[in-house]
Chain A
Amino acid sequence: MNGDSHADLLQPPSNIEPTVLERTASHYTPLPTYQLPKGEHRHYQQQYADMYFARLAQLKPAVEQIASEAWADFEIGGETASRKDRVLDVRQGELCWVAGTVYMEMPLKPNVLEDIGKEHWIAAPPPRVKYDTGVGLGGDSERGAHAGGGKGLAGAQIMLEDESGRLRLTGGYLSGGLLVTGAIVAVMGTENSDGDFEVLDLRVPDLPRQPPRWETEDGDAALQGKSVTKKRPSSGKVAIISGLGVSGVEGDTLLLDLLLEYLLGESTDPASQQQAASISRLIIAGNSLSHSSPIPSREELAAATKKGGRKTYGYDSASYNAAPTDHLDQWLATLLPSIPITLLPGEQDPTSTSLPQQPIHAAMFPHSRAYMNPPTAPEGPGWFDSTTNPAEFSADGWRFLGTGGQPVDDVYKYLPDCEERLEMMEAMLRWRLTAPTAPDTLWCYPFQDGDQFVMKECPHVFLVGNQPKFETTVVEGPLGQQVRVLAVPRFKETGELILLDCETLVPEIVRFEVLDEG
């Protein structure tokens, strides 16, 4: 054993002076796309319908261009498809195409009127696996209440909507499809005798323009009058993790310790330490705490009222347990001297519950706070960047778009029979929407001037946290765009850390395990 190089550390201390490793530098520019105005500038009086209209206005030109290219010379029985401006302009028997917003009516969707009626408005709605009834994988017990016969969109109605009105869509074409409320599409077909629109073909806006690498940094430099550097040093890797799930319970933090030591370069052998030194940044994509959302779930509220105690609306300060945030703060503060961190909040983190979630406040991190920018004078990105969810930033020149997982989880609920989360992510990219189902079933801020969730530029890396397992693929666009899509698994369950090489954009996994047998 002593001869193998891997057992170098299994020998008595040698007198060789160990080398001090230095970490690869990280070039980082956060973009304020999802930051909401603070304080009194944030208004909630506006209607959510404005968001839909804004979204349609922003995406209609793109989808109509694609649609007109595709159907310009489409003929059925001598008839060409004509373009209709408004959804209600379709005429019976006439072949035409029109663009609008998809709206899906599903029986199990959360209904705000129902909730208010039952006085459930204070707690989060009950989690649903899927919003559709009677749909399941034919006996697959994972579906629970939704198990049953039938495939397809039983019980759901799909409609196309714009400023003028709504049009019900039918046709066998739709059952093969991926559609959720809020997607902007163009459909071609004809109106049948029932007044429904039979769909023959469908088009989506597809990927937007993708900026070349380093465009953000070069653009900034040009604006500031500095010379645009042609030569950039080679980048290292970016570590991505999600779902740390720090709770006050101490029984499950060994994996976190192992991860900490690996990233600091203290554990493992010198070869792996060298590899760890090439990790230039850590991105935490949501759910760092396991139970800290300010909105109590329905079960919690029921338990609280059942106990007969005072029904405290929202927050009972006596029951606050500081242990999880303290632990997370210590963990981050131990990592920060060595590696910069970008923290995205998730569904269970102590910040706003509606998208876009605002950054977790510095007050939650008394130790790590020293590495953050002072609130009054933010000069450049902070070493510890607590950012929004979803978040857009440029790391090592590549444009990253990350979410904590809520949009994808919500899209998942709309699609019966579909377990392919990568497909949903690809669909979201092609619809150009970071959160298509907001504001329908996903709580969000009522944007007034424009839908912030519309992707204006195509990212290079689209990462989604808190997914059940690690998945990755490359999505290609019509103009040659290439997007690396990453589904980041929950660390607490899988112990997996993703390392994304910033030169090739190929991910690899480091899995931490504790062997507990014997």
Chain B
Amino acid sequence: MAQDYAEWLAINVLNEQQLVSYRSLSRALKVHSNLAKQMLYDFHHKQNAKKPGTVHATYLITGIKRTERPATNGTHSQRDGEDTVMQSSPLLPSSSALKPGEHDDETPNAVQTVMLVKQESLELAKAKFESITGIHIYSLQAKGLGDIQSLTECNRKIAVDYASEDPLEVWKQYGTIQNPDVKRRTQRRQPPPPPAPVAKAAVAKAKPPVPTAKPTTLKKEGSKDSEEAGPASNTSAKAPTEPARKPPTNKRQSSDIFKSFAKGKPKTKTEQESQDSAGSTPKAAPDDEPIAGFSDEEDADEGDADIIEEAPKAVDGKSKKEREAELQAMMEQEDEVMEDAAGVEPDHAEADVDEGAIDKPDPQAEEPKEIVQVESGRRRGRRRVMKKKTVKDEDGYLVTKEEATWESFSEDEPAPKRIKVPTTTSMSKSTTAAPGKKGAKPGGGNIMSFFSKK
């Protein structure tokens, strides 16, 4: 350890010309703060013995300063004693402590001073003290310190670099005063984000195959994330960071605008889901993840220092570039976007999903239940709606029938009351649904379905 600190300091102070405080040193080398202070002194001493003036230091002096004025207990301002007496005594009959004479007799309160000085002013500062309880080196830097306020940079850096450390576990080694009574809730930094429980709620409502597939997806991507934390390939970088990012960062709700762009994003592992017979639900499921993913990336892009994992930092640049490329590509052809991300398969999957909604009556018949998913306050999914259909009869009469059809919907507010299904009407074939669907709302509020091939 003896050599480590000299090396470390040589690199950081001399070569990289950084400002190193005893706290940064203690965190970097995992040593007690007092030890770090001694290390700083040693290095400073040795370097300046070799070549004077190479390393500059700031010192922290603790002690009792010389008092400048006789009465440090400052109740008395330089005013007439008369006014004080007149005002205090009559109305406050038992006022005991406010007679002017008394204050001079009271011993002034003990004042301890903690002073930070640059090495140039050290002797000057020491002269101001009546008695010194301790001096130690606060920081080292290669050149003279211009603005002493720049020392705040050290602590800021510590907060950013070591944000992932749990204070209750590791700070003991740094010499922080431990407190055995400290109470902390189990949630680490940020509270669980709304989309995670929301997505779980959606999953709960969906059919059985989907829930099993979805958690496995999450798990797989979770493991993927741990493998590919650093510079990962473009596609997998996006996907794994999404679920990993979901727990820590979802303080902000994704803006709706990105939700609509998010439709174009692929899902690497959802091919099997999309080819599932239950058409709409997996479509909604990938909707959730890319959407949440976008919002997470948006968060990451803002370089939020609160994010614990260092992985996001590495992935930041890529995802932003990625996203921009995607947005551009989206304006042209959706296919390109798909290829850019994960290959053509997911694209087909998406298209399949859409077509499945329209052209596959049989699978449709299997879903008697309404599927409603809540995502960030929007309810979306497929629901049963009464639609009026006017047909010309054999006799030439126009007959209007009410039929129950499935359509996908998306609500900003909680969905209105569900429409009751009369027992006699039959499920209409998708032909009526298709034009209705195409014209009214392009699939669940996503513009992307408007561009998708039908």
Contact = CB atoms under 8 A, between A and B. Distances in A.
B136 A10 contact: yes
Interface residues of A, number: 95
Nearest to B154: A257
A18 B35 contact: yes
A337 B182 contact: yes
A77 interface: no
Contact of B110 (A509, A515, A516): A509
A315 interface: no
A295 interface: no
Nearest to A268: B62
Interface in A152-174: 173
Given A418-B87, A517-B124, A204 B116 contact: no
A111 interface: no
Contacts of B431: none
Contact of A516 (B91, B148, B175, B190): B148
A88 interface: no
B118 interface: yes
A330 B77 CA distance: 38
Interface residues on B, range: 35 or more
A6 B133 CA distance: 5
B114 A513 contact: yes
Contacts of A233: none
A10 B185 contact: no
A264 B177 contact: yes
Interface stretch (B36-44, B223-231, B417-425): B36-44
A351 interface: no
Interface in B160-179: 167-168, 171-172, 174-179
B392 interface: no
B95 to A, nearest CB: 6
Interface in A305-343: 330, 334, 336-340
B62 A22 contact: no
Contact of B75 (A258, A338, A420): A420
Interface string A35-73: 000000000000000000000000000000000000000
Interface string B343-380: 00000000000000000000000000000000000000
Among A10, A270, A470, residue most surrounded by chain B Cβ atoms (within 10 Å): A10
A261 B23 contact: yes
Nearest to B41: A10
Given A253-B152, A339-B177, A419 B97 contact: no
A268 B2 CA distance: 23
A54 B239 CA distance: 64
Contacts of A264: 176-177
Contact of A472 (B109, B112, B177): B109
B74 interface: yes
Contacts of B155: 257, 260
A21 B121 contact: no
Interface stretch (B78-86, B213-221, B272-280): B78-86
B189 to A, nearest CB: 6
B65 to A, nearest CB: 8
A177 B149 contact: no
A367 B190 CA distance: 7
B136 A515 contact: no
Interface in A478-518: 478, 506-518
10 contacts: A6-B63, A9-B134, A12-B45, A22-B180, A267-B136, A334-B159, A337-B167, A471-B75, A512-B115, A515-B115
In the complex, the 10 A-B pairs of residues with the closest C-beta atoms, listed nearest first? A269-B134, A9-B136, A265-B177, A337-B167, A12-B42, A508-B110, A515-B117, A13-B38, A18-B32, A266-B33
Given A177-B90, A261-B23, 19 more contacts: A6-B63, A6-B134, A7-B135, A14-B38, A23-B179, A258-B116, A266-B174, A267-B114, A267-B138, A268-B62, A268-B136, A271-B133, A330-B159, A372-B185, A418-B87, A420-B88, A420-B98, A508-B111, A510-B112
